[in-house]
């Protein structure tokens, strides 16, 4: 099993910045990639950004140029720097990790953290 621990959610004013972090831990699993997803009120969960161990990134069109996903010192750590935040960014953000084991690949989800952008 993989445990995901997140931090960094909270309240921020429009135009402000916020940084989310997530660390995965577990035995027998090699984390191949990590990412962030979000679910706004009345909407489906959507991809925000992902990053592989090789450094390849993918961003939702709505956050390109404003958000940056990066890896930490630990292979199982990922960050999401959110700048120029808009009220539309308000959502519950979820950390995701794709792990590989002898049994195959599997996605792991962390508990959501609320990001509220409001004046």
Report the greatest alpha carbon distance in the chain: 49
pLDDT at position 76, please? 85
DSSP string, 10-31: EEE-TT--EEEEEEEE-SS-EE
Residue 9 Cα to chain centre, angstroms: 11
Terminal CA-CA length for the chain: 40
User: How are beta strands 113-117 and 10-12 bridged, if at all?
Assistant: parallel
pLDDT at position 3, please? 78
pLDDT at position 2, please? 77
Give average pLDDT by consecutive 10-residue segment, the chain, 119 residues.
79 95 86 94 95 94 98 85 97 93 90 93
């Amino acid at each position: 099993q993989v445990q995901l621990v997140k931090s960094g959610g909270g309240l921020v004013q429009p135009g402000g910045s916020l940084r989310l972090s997530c660390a995965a831990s577990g035995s027998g699993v090699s984390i191949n990639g990590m990412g962030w997803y979000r679910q706004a009120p009345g909407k489906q969960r959507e991809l925000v950004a992902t990053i592989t161990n090789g450094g390849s990134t993918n961003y939702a069109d709505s956050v390109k140029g404003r958000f940056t996903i990066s890896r930490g010192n630990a292979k199982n750590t990922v960050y999401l720097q959110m700048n120029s935040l808009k009220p539309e960014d308000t959502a519950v953000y979820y950390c995701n990790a794709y792990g590989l084991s002898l049994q195959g690949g599997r996605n792991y989800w962390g508990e959501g953290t609320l990001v509220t952008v409001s004046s």
